[in-house]
Amino acid sequence: MGLPRVGILADDRLQQHLLKSALLHFGFDVAVATDPTRLPDLDQASLDLDAWVVDLREDDQEDYEWLDELLVGDIPVLIGLEKAPQKNCLTFPKWEKRLYGKLKELLKSTPVVAEDVSVLDKLGSSNTPVIPLPAEFSGHDYTGRIAQQVWVLGASLGGPGAVKAFLDALPAGLPVAFVYAQHIDPRFEETLCKTIGRHASYELKNFTAGEPLRCGEVLVAPISHEFRFDNAGQPFSLQRDWPGPYGPSIDQVILNVAAHYEQRAGYILFSGMGNDGAEAIVTLTDKNVPVWAQTPDSCANSSMPESAIETSRVDFIGDPYQLALQLVNSVKHSWIHKHEPITH
C-alpha cells in the first residue's frame, strides 16, 4: 500500500508551504499544493487523491462553487484548520499534531508511524563497541539501587535499531535507568523487550505498577495506557489511553517523567516519523536539563529528531554511538560534581 496522497488548496502561500511541510513530515504523499483558483486547471482524476486539505484565509472570495463540488465529491475534504503558527513558535508542534489527528480521523489509512515485528526480527547484534566504564564507577555496584537519574528514550520508525545500538554501547555499572517510549504495534510489546535487550548490559522490562526504576533497568513504556510516577517514584497506571494520535505519547512520557524527576532526568529523541516529543521539550523550563537528538542523516526516518532540533531546545546531536558516549561522559561529570570534596 502506497502512502496516502493528499492535495492542498490554500490561498495563502505561507500556509500552503507550512501545510505541505507538515504533511510530508508525517509521511503523506503531497500530490499538489496550490491556490484554489488553479483547481479548474488540475486533472483531478490523475491526482488519485485520498484527501483534500483546504485552507481559506481571504474573506472577500465570492465564488465558492468549486468548494461545494469538492464537498459533495467522493474524496474526503479537511477544512476549517486554524492558521499555522510560525515554525519557530512553541505551538507549532501542537498544530502539526492536530493536523495529523484530523486526517487520521478522516482517512481509512494514514502513514505508518509505528514499527512492526518484521523490523524486530531483523535486529541482530549491532556490533557496537562497548564504551569503557569510567573509573569513578569501578568498585561500586549500583545494581538494584533506586535510580536517581532517569533518561527518556523516544523513538518511532527506525527507532528499535538506533536504540539497540545506543544501549549496546553503554557499559554496565552506570547509576542510571531509562524509560523507553517506542511507537510499535501493541502485540509486539514483549518482543520489543527481548529483542532490544538481547545484547545490552541493561535489563529491559515491561511496565509493572509499583515497581520503582532501579539502576541498570530500561522500562518500556506501555503502549495501551498512560502511566505516571507517585511521590515515592513508583509508577502507576492512569487506566486511560495516552493522549494524541499514537501510543505511547512520547510528549506525555516526557511530561510525566519531568513531573517527578525534574532536573534528574534527560531526554533523547531517536529515529522516527512525525514530531512526537517536540511539543514537550519546549516546556522544560530548566535549560540545564539535557535534551539530545539523533543526527538526521543517521536515522531510518529523520522527521522526529528534525522536529525536535527545529525547536532550538536540543543541545547535543549525534549518532547512536555518539549519544551513548555523551551519556557516559554526562553521567560521569554529574557524579564528580556531586561527590567532589568541598574546599575552603
Q: What is the per-residue pLDDT for 128?
A: 78
Asked if 98 and 78 touch (Cβ cutoff 8 Å), the reply is no
Give the dihedral sign, CA 174/322/169/25: positive
Q: Which domains does the chain have, with CATH numbers?
A: 5-106 (3.40.50.2300), 117-339 (3.40.50.180)
The reported pTM is 0.84
Cell of 220: 518500556
What single-letter DSSP state applies at residue 250?
H
Coil, strand or helix: which one is 154?
strand
Q: How far from 196 is each of 6, 86, 167, 220, 299, CA to CA, in Å?
A: 35, 38, 8, 10, 17
Complete DSSP assignment for 34-67: E-GGGGGGS-HHHH--SEEEEE---S-----HHH
- Angle among Cα 274, 86, 26 to the nearest 5 degrees reads 15
Which residues contact residue 65 at a Cβ distance below 8 angstroms, ignoring those fewer than 6 apart?
none
Asked if 324 and 170 touch (Cβ cutoff 8 Å), the reply is yes
| Active-site annotation, residues | 156, 183, 276
Q: What is the per-residue pLDDT for 342?
A: 47
Q: At what angle do helices 13-25 and 303-310 cross, to 10 degrees?
A: 130
Q: How far from 26 is each of 49, 101, 154, 180, 241, CA to CA, in Å?
A: 17, 11, 16, 21, 21
Within 10 angstroms of residue 248's Cβ, the number of other Cβ atoms is: 28
The whole-angstrom separation of Cα 106 and Cα 78 is 8
Is residue 248 reached through a cis peptide bond, with omega within 30 degrees of 0 on the bond before it? Answer: yes
Q: What is the per-residue pLDDT for 344?
A: 43
Asked if 150 and 261 touch (Cβ cutoff 8 Å), the reply is yes
Gyration radius of the chain's alpha carbons: 22
What single-letter DSSP state applies at residue 243?
S
Could you report the per-residue pLDDT of 237-272, keeping only the tens digit for each?
999 999 987 889 999 999 999 999 999 999 999 999
Q: What is the per-residue pLDDT for 193?
A: 85
Asked if 176 and 190 touch (Cβ cutoff 8 Å), the reply is no
Q: Give the closest residue to 229 by CA, choosing from 165, 312, 338, 146.
A: 146
The whole-angstrom separation of Cα 314 and Cα 162 is 18
The whole-angstrom separation of Cα 291 and Cα 240 is 27
Q: What is the dihedral of CA 21, 87, 251, 142, to 10 degrees?
A: 110
**Ranges of residues in the chain whose predicted pLDDT is under 50:** 342-344
Q: Which residues of 8-21 are buried (b: 16+ CB within 10 A; e: fewer)?
A: bbbbbeebbebbbe
155 DSSP β-pair partners: 182
Within 10 angstroms of residue 138's Cβ, the number of other Cβ atoms is: 9
